[in-house]
Amino acid sequence: MTGALANIKILDLSRVLAGPYCTMIMGDLGAEVIKVEAPGGSDETRRWGPPFKEEVSAYYLSANRNKKAITLDLKSEAGVEIIKKLVQESDVIINNFKTGTMDRFGLGYDVLAELNPRIVYCSITGFGETGPDRHIPGYDFIIQAMSGLMSITGTKESGPQKTGVAIVDVLTGLYACIGIQAALLERVQSDRGQKLDISLYDSAVSALVNIGSNYLMSEQIPKALGNAHANIVPYQAFQTLDGEMVIAVGNDHQFKAFCDVLGKPEYAQNVLFQTNPNRVKNRDELVPLLQAVLLTKETAYWQEQCRKNNIPSGPIQNLKEVVQDKQLQARNMFITQDHPTVGRIKLIGSPLKLSRTPVQMKHHPPNPGEHNEEIMNRLGMTQTTN
């Protein structure tokens, strides 16, 4: 059984999260991914921790399975020549160096496209390769701040907040993955590769979706609403007798059913609350009424009643509860792999469920240069430049 991207070869010069996350997805789908680092291992996430296990960081493990690893000195002529040889047998090359760095190495798109006109060349940068800020390095946290994402996250009391994970890196990795696969599909018709210019800043702004659209239509600067929703009410977190849960009422029919569950059918009959636009306008009156009722019973009770009546809801779970969730276990969202340095490791699985070409976990996240000998032998060479 082969993966959906079997026979696709990817040369991965990226590090940290956005690029490695992209190439891990493609590796999960069956592509051969060769991770290139400087001698000793130059992916910063190898040293981001704790937690570590036998000096291997959990952060690095999260984004680097299904890859082979080699080490090269790209500042040396020999290292650059090896990359050029690998490009000639590759379908994709991806990097996240600052704008202009690959050109300085002698590995710009025009050079590599001469060697392999079918190469798909993906550049991931903070701000893109055009525009006045193209030379500024980009980091997820900075981009969250600049893109407006932080301005709509948090509450009036908390001030702007970042998300709990590097969400811009994740989004950028996904956009890069989509773009690369689109270019590979187009290549079937044209027999030519192309360059992709993917930026963290662009990716973050694209993720503003309805909030961005709200501003473009109204020119009203959106406020942070915490766990509430700008366009839907009630659609937020509520406290219960023993914890917290989220209620996500998406239409007027669901609101009526929710009021019946609460034993307050009169709320749905109140002209102030009958329609969603009215509920949004009058959220300050409605939400305290709902909260008062929800505080009278436990989360499990309300969860059961909501599900019986097709009202979207869910408890706010911590990571221990998430890992123990029977639904996620049934979906193989937590896996184990053998690692030569640390033994058995636990990883988050893939959300991609393909019927004929399922995702496969073939390779553990590699140690620096673990596959030097294998790859150099394939190129007819006996040693690397490290």
What are the residue numbers of the active site?
A: 169
What's the 3-state SS for the chain?
Answer: CCCCCCCCEEEEECCCCHHHHHHHHHHHCCCEEEEEECCCCCCHHHHCCCCEECCEEHHHHCCCCCCEEEECCCCCHHHHHHHHHHHHCCCEEEECCCCCHHHHHCCCHHHHHHHCCCCEEEEEECCCCCCCCCCCCCCHHHHHHHHCCHHHCEECCCEECCCCCCHHHHHHHHHHHHHHHHHHHHHHHHCCCCEEEEEHHHHHHHCCHHHHHHHHHHCCCCCCCCCCCCCCCCEEEEECCCCEEEEECCCHHHHHHHHHHHCCHHHHHCCCCCCHHHHHHCHHHHHHHHHHHHCCCCHHHHHHHHHHCCCCEEECCCHHHHHCCHHHHHCCCEEEEEECCCEEEEEECCCCCCCCCCCCCCCCCCCCCCCHHHHHHHCCCCCCCC
